Amino acid sequence: MDNITSLAGRFPDHFIFGVATSSYQIEGATREDGRGPSIWDAFSNMPGRVHKGHNGDIACDHYRLWEQDLDLIQALGIDAYRFSIAWPRILPNGVGAINEAGLDFYDSLIDGMLERGLQVFPTLYHWDLPLNLMGYGGWTDRNTADAFAHYASVVMKRLGDRFDTMTTFNEPWCACHLSHLLGIHAPGEKSMQATLEAIHTMNLAHGKAVQAIRAERSDIPVGIVLNAMSITPASDDTADIEAAERAFQFDNGVFFGPIFDGAYDKELYDELGSMLPIEGGDLATINQPLDFWGFNYYTPMKVADAKTDSSRFPHTKTITATQRNDRTDIGWEIGAFGLSQLLTQVYDRYDLPPVYITENGACFNTDINSEGKVHDEKRIQYFDEHIEECAKVIEAGIDMRGYFAWSLMDNFEWAEGYKMRFGIVHVDFDTQIRTIKDSGYWYSELAQTHRSIADGKDESGNAVVADTDYS
């Protein structure tokens, strides 16, 4: 494992080390202060949808404990906090009356961040669609794009003067593919038609929201976060190589293409375009110039050809991606190479702005020992390998601006409920006691060492920080 000082020293002086969370996963207080219900409130309480019927009613109780949580981030010496704003707190019905109490909460949260010297990285949408909009079709209804743009405008008017960046969507792949094709996430549909409609509506909502954000605050850097898939063909056979390209178009190109090129990929469009509800001017609206994009990376993907007369696009099957076959406790393969592989691929294919790693982390369900400690060495190794890969990417010439660890603390892990833990801080969900894990101390030292190196360079740019090892 790399020495922390040597690893930290490989990043540019202004590189940001942050932590990330999302509203429904941590806030709780789902029925308080005027917040309306979201699709995840409904989905979580449907039998069989979420592990043991868990829901986000309390989660990490961050709505009440936010000051304590910000103190924790400050104590860790982290540069920035990436969080999401709950649309149902701001506009309980998705449209119509504004809930000032919801804006008050984020007003206080953001002021608290600034008081603690934290950079403010909000996301407008991390999957908690107001339930009222689902009654009209949710993301399959293009009116939702206009509702989202209005929501963006409301947020920017009240809070935008203190943002360092603004992100429209977090992982539209999950909100489309997992939610409308595979049925794993809310609203739990299994329809290719609904998936393609949701993809286009969400792309359109992104473009309209970027316009709304810039109309209110033209000085705020705007971007989107994509959990792009790092896809490798199963073999050198032409069929598998072509399968990998189809998988790229289906999982990545449906977002990268319209957003950065103003067009859907031809092969995908030829097969599925009739289900994309494109109207005149849509692609120009979607294709807004962005100041950055975020990449969420966890695991690599390998595909083989599975094209038959009855198969549907992308006509692939997923197979084991790595030789190591190491997996996290949620079952995802570990392969840091996929991070640099995907970035190299997309920067070759598209004209992209600078990138942040907006989520990266691992699920290891290590619990507190008898001494009150959490020795999660596997998570430290995971972070070390992936942050090393980030350093390589930067050295290869890609403009990466920051890295956000997922997650600040254990939280509601969607369909997995509370059984899967990604945090660098352990949460006892019965008592709400937070305990910093070994990985939290490791990441804290990395962030603080990087800042010390950047602050401590002499006039020639040489670091004057003593070398220290984590133990």
Provide the 10 A C-beta neighbour count for residue 220. 18
224: which 2 tokens? Answer: 């989107």
Which residue has tokens 């549907």?
A: 312
Rounded Cα–Cα distance for residues 145 and 140 (Å): 10
Q: Which stretches of 316-394 are assigned E, i.e. beta strand?
A: 316-319, 355-360
Burial of 242 (0-12, 13-18, 19+ CB in 10 A): middle
Rounded Cα–Cα distance for residues 195 and 189 (Å): 8
Contacts of 366 (CB under 8 A, 6+ apart): 374, 375, 376, 378, 379, 421, 437
Q: Is 138 left (phi over 0), alpha (psi -120 to 50) or beta?
A: left
Q: What is the β-pairing status of strands 400-406 and 355-360? A: parallel
Catalytic residue numbers, as ranges: 171, 359
Q: Are 303 and 231 in contact (CB under 8 A)?
A: yes
Widest pairwise Cα distance in the chain: 67
Cis bond leading into 88, ω under 30°? no
H or E segment to which residue 400 belongs = strand 400-406
Rounded Cα–Cα distance for residues 153 and 244 (Å): 39
Which residue has tokens 């992936």?
A: 386
Rg (CA), the chain: 21
Q: HSE (CB half, 13 Å, CA atoms) of 173?
A: 19
Rounded Cα–Cα distance for residues 468 and 21 (Å): 30
